[in-house]
Structure 1
Amino acid sequence: MHLSSIALAFLCTALAWPALAADNGAGQGRSDELADLSIEELATIQVTSVSKKPERLLDAPASVFVITADDIRRAGAQSLPEALRLAPALHVAQRSSYGYAISARGMNGSSNSAPNKLLVMIDGRSVYAPLFSGVFWDMQDVMLEDVERIEVISGPGGTLWGVNAVNGVINITTRSAQATQGGLAVLRGASDGVDAAFRQGGRSRDVDWRVYGKALRRWRSETDDGGRLNDAWRQAQLGFRADWARASDTFSVNGSVFHGDLEQPEPGEISVSGTALRLGDIDTEGASLTARWERALDDGGRFSVQAYLDHAKRVVPPTFTESLQIADVQFQHTLPAWGSHNLVWGANLRHSWDEVENSEVIAFLPAKTEQTWSSLFAQDEIALHPDLSLTLGARVERNDYTGNEFLPTARLSWRLAPRHALWTALSRTVRAPTRLDADAFIPGRPPYLLRGGPRVRSEVARVFEVGYRGQPLTDLSLSATVFHNDYDHLRTQEIDPSRTFITFDSLMEGQATGIEMWSSYQLSRAWRMSAGFTALHERLRLKPGSNDVAGPGTAGKDPEHTLQLRSHYAFDDRRELEVGLRKVAALENPAVPGYWALDARFGWRVAPGVEVSVVGQNLNGSHAEYGAAGAREEIDRRVGVKLVWSL
């Protein structure tokens, strides 16, 4: 029997097993706590990423998917990208043991660049790289056992979060120190590597605190042609958090340091102007410190101040070394309700010190620079009727390359019934140029050199959305969103008339239209199933004057559709089974076949405070997800065992 047939048979058995177990009484005696949140309670989860203030998920006028701590644990995710696979609207494509291309609503990579239209934050700290507006996912390793929830917003978020929040926002929130008291030890061994982590929490006087440390090692993987990929990865991290309160004031401080060593997945050397240069291991390091103060005002309003310092260094021999320091201060004031108005406003100031050590392969001119981003935003939620609200907001943000950018939004929410809501939105957002767009220069002999473009403009997206969120049945939740994006000034690579160099410009436009939907159904107190589906159609075209024939092929980096099915069953208060099935359509540029992936996790609480789980990924066989044939990673079958011990 073919392996895929075995996998599908296993899936059918796994999905049917809970029903058989229920018939045999295996689910009897299960505690109410194992039901976790009911479908109705899930709709009332408090989210903050849509309006920058707590609101029920059902009331949020945006496409939002919440990944809870239980979701992450049940799926057996071992990294943030693996956890993000749980969000149906995200396309998560693995390129190596540590490299990922992650996007929402398309644009999963543009001309010679990683995905750059998705804003990612960890406890309010932006982790996008000003060098190219993307995310180095290997440098964003967190202890998943400390994550409280991940809010994934599909669509524009520029009004509240600024430039680069074009196609989505990922807001990762960790648990308070009060919620992580005592000790925790985590050990994992698998066919792809090993992990170890610890955490200790306590209370000193009025201050709750925790410290943690973790280390990981990933083995080399295989390429799709059977060779070995130089992508081994080692990393260690230490961190802390402290929380305390005084009357109406709350304070929080957290920080971390890490160091990593990564092999480069490309061939062992590259040739530049006839000279062979060997590729060395990538060396990474970073440190961050974030402080937040929030006060509840007597009149019902609130204000908060957050500041953070961030240091990151990435050594990529023989191409470049970047050392980046960022200082960021944010202020927000939520005014007390005034008639039918609920107003929130704020300001943000961000400054970076960026230094690049240039090489024969690539240079950034100037090599050392400072940049400043400043912004002011306001958003008003107006109650037009008890069941109808209008949200109007705008942000003005200034950057050093294109000056002031205007980011407005208008959102209308209509509560059809207590458990049904419709919403629609019109927004304008941008991706501002980065050093890669404006300052990059690739040395070499004619006929072609590549250099940053003095004519590069901000990439603009005008977005229309309409969505539904509700509970058609008591035990069934459903969310569906249709969207249309109009893009302008997308980046292109233009051959100069002298035919001596290529320069970046902004001579491409296009549209993206699609639908994203997901649902969850509580079949019984012990059994829950969920599903997600996306469909996307992109059309990109060159504007007059462009000769970048490869630009429109960017649309080929995105699948036309994805499908996700998940089943969770708790046999009793000690044993649970999670089964997940993902389908991703083929990519065209470069060509990557479509694939199915079957994952499963069985967890067993063998004693109070001790849980053992067995996790299998890609049980139906290996597949590729991203990259050119012959050098891309073949995502192989993985099996591992994890021990979590609460002390």
Structure 2
Amino acid sequence: MDTDITLPTSVFSPRRPQSRGQRVAGLAPPLAGALALATLLTAAPAHAVSIDDLGQLSLEELGNIRITSVSKKPERLADAAASVFVITADDIRRSGARSLPEVLRLAPNLQVAQSSGYGYAISARGMNGNNNSAPNKLLVLIDGRSVYTPLFAGVFWDAQDVVLEDVERIEVISGPGGTLWGVNAVNGVINIITRSAADTQGSLLAASAGSRQADATLRHGGALGAGGHYRVYGRYLDRSSTSNEAGDGIDDAGTRSQAGFRADWSHDGDQLRLSGNIYDAHEEQPAPGLLSTTISAPPLGDLALSGANLTSRWDRQLDQGASLSLQAYYDRTRRVAPPWFNESLDILDLQFQHALQPLGAHSLVWGVNLRYSHDRIDNSPYVAFLPPDLHQKWNSLFAQDEMALGSRVRVTLGARLEHNDYTGSEFLPNARIAWTLADNHLLWAAASRTVRAPSRLDEDLYVPGAPPYLLDASFHTRSEVAKVYELGYRGQPTRRLSVSTTVFHTDYDDLHTQEIDPSFTFLTFGNGMRGRANGFEAWGVFQATERWRLSAGYTALHERLWLKPGSNDVAAPLAAGVDPSNTWQLRSSWNLAATNLDLALRHVAALRRDDVPAYTTLDARVGWQLQPQVELSLAATNLLGRHAEYGGMATRVDIGPAVNASLAWTF
């Protein structure tokens, strides 16, 4: 997840007599704070590419990058019929970012807003939080392992960390991915792909220290007999507290320790990967400034996170372009958030995929996914999930066919049938057409239907109140539905310029709301809202000279949400104000011998709902290649002053200027 929410006074204060209109207008916003507090959304750290790869890819090489997220099989970025942006290892290294959310700022088709020292709200195409939860319509994968949590159908960003130096690329798709990736891939998919152990041989020491955090990573890789390689690593992070608009410190510092490994074997047409991680973290929880003094609540303790995961994957290349893959992973997480709740979650996931050899003009891929979870929650007098102990399963089958209509037109038809315990079976179809106008010029269009299935937050959450619950979530909700239409162009108009543009229209239905029951005694969740979003995304790269490259990106979004007949959640449509109407960024990368200089100028429009002003900020990094195996860099962020990025909390975090020095040494 990604936002820290304090508990409003009105949630636990004694009730005062209210008129009907006051009840309707006044109950929903305080409850939003209580619900988001129950999920305690947060975020974490990392850094990227081979230290001995200091050159930039040419525009032709960028277009030829092989990606897998759009069609679940390797294809050139230039041929992908989707709005996809690739963050390369070189991009990560040159950004100076020290955490995964900060790296994701490089993608112009994402909105990344920091809400605390470790909290982030990250989304694509809007819906960056609503009355019931933090962002929950973006699917995130790390080496094929989904980090979606069934607690609120989103991502706990503070539980996700990778060694950025080991990241090969990050594929960021804005738009639906339900056919290939399942429910909750509504507005986007982030696929983080790390390098094979064969590409990380030898040792690496990466360390940084600055005004905001300090971290150190030690990694070693070696051979495992014929055709095998491994790497092991250990990592430590110490993050300092942030401050509010007045400059007063906020207690949201934290530390994190993590270790892991990866092993790869390759023989003939077979590839086998085994990887795992274990981590432990402690984070301060900012004291809520609005708790009722009439309630005897225990003091906030440090939030404790721990977990371990293990992933295995086998790929076999068959004759004439066919392939098989089998992946399994186990993910264990533990979150202790005193005094609100404690959660232990175990997830077991099994995936099988078969790409058939081309049959004439047809290229068919199909697969199955079986997923099981066991969630155990220790409830408190303030937040409760009933039942506290829950077993869930998700089963799905998908198939997608890409048909070549001549040499320049490809049509893709696909669908997934997925079953979950809350809403039963969901149908997720999509249709795409790609037309190669000329070499290096692709026009594409798509129509998709996807859903965000209910989570435990939607179905099982109870907030104590009178009588007997302030919130009673025992009334079943339906899935939130999105129907999306897209038209895009990707091409290279000149040898020095490449561009990508997309226009999209999304119709939302059955969006979740907080409804007051007819007796005006408690709240329930419902599906009382519809919505519409129209937008535009564009980015491009211009090679000004052999040593100087400019990159730019722009997004525009117009959202409108409205209540359906019978809904009384007057606050719900205000969620459209959590998303900026436009963003833009401009990056400059310059090489001179063993020195490179990078500048990044970003602008984000105002957030209307929480009165977060627009801001423009400048980041800079200079790197020196001291020796072939040693790079030293100095980075500075937010050079144009302090600014807020997200609202909804009692104490708003202001993000100020920071400096950081980093060293990467391979040996």
Fold match (TM-score > 0.5): yes
How many residues align structurally?
615
Partner of 1:4: none
Aligned with residue 498 of structure 1, among 507, 519, 531: 519
Note the alpha carbon deviations across 1:486-533, whole angstroms, 9 max, x for none.
000000000111111110011100100000000000011101000000
User: Per the alignment, in what secondary structure is the counterpart of residue 478 of structure 2?
Assistant: coil
Task: Confirm whether residue 620 of structure 1 aligns to residue 640 of structure 2.
Answer: yes
Task: Confirm whether residue 461 of structure 1 aligns to residue 482 of structure 2.
Answer: yes
- Is 1:269–1:276's contact at 8 Å kept on the other side of the alignment? no
Q: Percent identity?
A: 59
Q: Distance in 1 between matches of 2:504 and 2:176?
A: 11
Note the alpha carbon deviations across 1:516-573, whole angstroms, 9 max, x for none.
000000011101000000000000000000000100001000000000000000011x
Task: Confirm whether residue 129 of structure 1 aligns to residue 120 of structure 2.
Answer: no
Partner of 1:565: 586
Task: Confirm whether residue 304 of structure 1 aligns to residue 325 of structure 2.
Answer: yes
Amino acid across the alignment from 2:337: V
Aligned with residue 191 of structure 2, among 171, 182, 188: 171
Aligned with residue 110 of structure 1, among 110, 117, 130: 130
Aligned with residue 98 of structure 1, among 104, 109, 118: 118
Q: Distance in 2 between matches of 1:174 and 1:458?
A: 33
- Is 1:34–1:526's contact at 8 Å kept on the other side of the alignment? no
Amino acid across the alignment from 1:337: P
Note the alpha carbon deviations across 1:48-87, whole angstroms, 9 max, x for none.
0000000011110000000000000000111110000000
Task: Confirm whether residue 295 of structure 1 aligns to residue 351 of structure 2.
Answer: no
Task: Confirm whether residue 37 of structure 1 aligns to residue 63 of structure 2.
Answer: no
| Deviation for aligned residue 1:204 | 2.3
Q: Distance in 1 between matches of 2:649 and 2:198?
A: 49
User: Per the alignment, in what secondary structure is the counterpart of residue 297 of structure 2?
Assistant: strand
| Deviation for aligned residue 1:247 | 2.1
Aligned with residue 373 of structure 1, among 354, 378, 394: 394
Amino acid across the alignment from 1:262: E
Q: How does 1:186-585 map to 2 (within 5 A)?
A: 186-206=206-226, 207-267=228-288, 270-271=291-292, 274-446=295-467, 449-572=470-593, 574-585=594-605
Note the alpha carbon deviations across 1:377-401, whole angstroms, 9 max, x for none.
0000000111001000000000000
Task: Confirm whether residue 57 of structure 1 aligns to residue 77 of structure 2.
Answer: yes
Partner of 2:33: none
| Deviation for aligned residue 1:245 | 1.5
Partner of 1:119: 139
Using the size of structure 2 for normalisation, the TM-score is 0.91
Amino acid across the alignment from 1:310: D
Note the alpha carbon deviations across 1:274-298, whole angstroms, 9 max, x for none.
2233111100001000000011112
Q: Distance in 2 between matches of 1:421 and 1:357?
A: 53
- Is 1:75–1:578's contact at 8 Å kept on the other side of the alignment? yes
| Deviation for aligned residue 1:246 | 2.3
Partner of 1:138: 158
Amino acid across the alignment from 2:399: A
Amino acid across the alignment from 1:518: W
The farther-off stretch of 243-252 and 463-472 is 243-252
Aligned with residue 96 of structure 2, among 62, 65, 76: 76
Task: Confirm whether residue 87 of structure 1 aligns to residue 98 of structure 2.
Answer: no
Amino acid across the alignment from 1:546: S
Q: Distance in 2 between matches of 1:34 and 1:114?
A: 38
Note the alpha carbon deviations across 1:278-336, whole angstroms, 9 max, x for none.
11110000100000001111243100000000000100000000100000000000000
- Is 2:147–2:155's contact at 8 Å kept on the other side of the alignment? yes
| Deviation for aligned residue 1:608 | 2.3
Amino acid across the alignment from 1:620: L
Q: Distance in 2 between matches of 1:477 and 1:187?
A: 35
Structure 1's consecutive aligned runs of 4 or more residues displaced over 3 angstroms after TM superposition are: 32-35, 268-273
**Root-mean-square deviation (Å):** 1.4
Partner of 2:654: 634
Task: Confirm whether residue 184 of structure 1 aligns to residue 204 of structure 2.
Answer: yes
User: Per the alignment, in what secondary structure is the counterpart of residue 593 of structure 1?
Assistant: coil
Q: Distance in 2 between matches of 1:629 and 1:368?
A: 30
Q: Distance in 1 between matches of 2:76 and 2:206?
A: 33
Note the alpha carbon deviations across 1:445-484, whole angstroms, 9 max, x for none.
3597012152310000000000000001111000000000
Using the size of structure 1 for normalisation, the TM-score is 0.94
Q: Distance in 1 between matches of 2:98 and 2:575?
A: 30
Amino acid across the alignment from 2:389: K
User: Per the alignment, in what secondary structure is the counterpart of residue 264 of structure 1?
Assistant: coil
The farther-off stretch of 270-279 and 538-547 is 270-279
Q: Distance in 1 between matches of 2:150 and 2:649?
A: 30
Alignment CA distance shift 1:217-1:33 (3 Å): closer
User: Per the alignment, in what secondary structure is the counterpart of residue 158 of structure 2?
Assistant: helix
- Is 1:85–1:92's contact at 8 Å kept on the other side of the alignment? yes
Aligned with residue 613 of structure 2, among 583, 593, 605: 593
